[in-house]
Chain A
Amino acid sequence: MSKPIIDIKNISKIYQMGSQLVHALRDITVTINENEYVALMGPSGSGKSTLMNILGCLDTPSSGTYFFNNTNVRELNDNELAEIRNREIGFVFQTFNLLPRATALKNIELPLVYSGIKKYERIEKAEEALRSVGLEDRMEHKPNELSGGQRQRVAIARALVTSPSIILADEPTGNLDSKTGNDIMRLFQTLWESGNTIILVTHEEEIALHAKRIIRLRDGLIESDEINNNQVKF
Chain B
Amino acid sequence: MLYEIKESILLSFEALRTNKLRAFLASLGVVIGISIVIMMGWLLGGLDKAMQDTFSIIGTDMLYIDKWDWTGNDNWRSVRNRKNITQKQAEQLRKLHGSAEYVIPNINQWGTNIEYDGEVYQGMTAVGTTAENAFTPVGNLLLGRYFNEFEEEFGSNVIVIGHLVYATIFKGENPLGKTIKLNGRPLRVIGVVKKRGTMFFDFIDRQMFIPLKKYSAIWDVDKKSMSIGIKAGVDNNLDEVRTETIGLMRIIRNLKPNEPNDFSINETKAFEKSIETLRLNVYMIGIVMTSLAFIVGIIGIMNIMFVTVTERTKEIGIRKSLGAKKRSIWLQFLIESSFLCLMGAILSLVMCSAIAYFAATYLPDYFPEVSFLLPVLPTELFIISTVVSIFVGLLAGLIPAIRAARLNPVEALRFD
Contact = CB atoms under 8 A, between A and B. Distances in A.
Contacts of B409: 58-59
Interface in A46-101: 53, 56, 58-59, 78-79, 82-83, 85-87, 91, 93, 97-99, 101
Nearest to A85: B323
A93 B320 CA distance: 14
B326 A110 contact: no
B354 to A, nearest CB: 34
Contact of A119 (B3, B328, B410): B3
A97 B328 contact: no
Interface string B301-325: 0000000000000110111111111
The range of chain B's interface size is 20 to 34
Interface in B336-387: none
Contacts of A97: 314, 317-318, 321, 413
Contact of B322 (A78, A79, A85, A101): A85
Contacts of A162: 323
Given A58-B409, A97-B413, A101-B14, A83 B1 contact: no
Contacts of A85: 320-323
B411 to A, nearest CB: 10
Contact of B326 (A78, A98, A113): A78
Given A97-B318, A119-B3, A114 B413 contact: no
B222 interface: no
A151 interface: no
B324 A82 contact: yes
Interface in B1-22: 1, 3-4, 7, 11, 14
A113 B4 contact: yes
Of A82, A87, A93, A115, most B-chain CB atoms within 10 Å: A82
B323 A82 contact: yes
Contacts, number: 61
Nearest to B320: A82
B326 A58 contact: no
A111 interface: yes
Contact of B321 (A58, A79, A116, A119): A58
A158 B322 CA distance: 9
Interface in A170-206: none
Interface in B175-233: none
Contact of A114 (B315, B328, B408): B328
Interface string A133-166: 0000000000000000000000000100010000
Contact of A111 (B323, B325, B326): B323
Contacts of A87: 323
Interface in B387-416: 408-410, 413
B32 to A, nearest CB: 31
B410 A111 contact: no
Contacts of A59: 408-410
Given A78-B326, A116-B1, A91 B7 contact: no
Interface string A98-127: 110100000000110111100100000000
A56 B4 CA distance: 24
Contacts of A111: 322-323
Contact of A58 (B11, B314, B327, B413): B413
Contacts of B317: 97
Contacts of A83: 323, 325
B319 A91 contact: no
Contacts of B319: 110, 114
A113 B3 contact: yes
Contact of B7 (A56, A78, A113, A158): A113
A133 to B, nearest CB: 17
Lowest 3 CB-CB distances: which A-B pairs, in order? A86-B323, A114-B323, A111-B322
Given A82-B324, A93-B413, A97-B314, 12 more contacts: A59-B408, A59-B409, A82-B323, A86-B323, A86-B324, A87-B323, A97-B317, A97-B413, A99-B315, A101-B11, A113-B3, A119-B3
24 contacts: A53-B410, A58-B320, A58-B321, A59-B408, A78-B325, A78-B326, A79-B327, A82-B320, A82-B324, A82-B326, A85-B320, A86-B322, A86-B324, A87-B323, A93-B413, A97-B314, A97-B317, A97-B321, A99-B318, A101-B11, A101-B14, A113-B4, A114-B322, A114-B328
Interface of A: 53, 56, 58-59, 78-79, 82-83, 85-87, 91, 93, 97-99, 101, 110-111, 113-116, 119, 158, 162
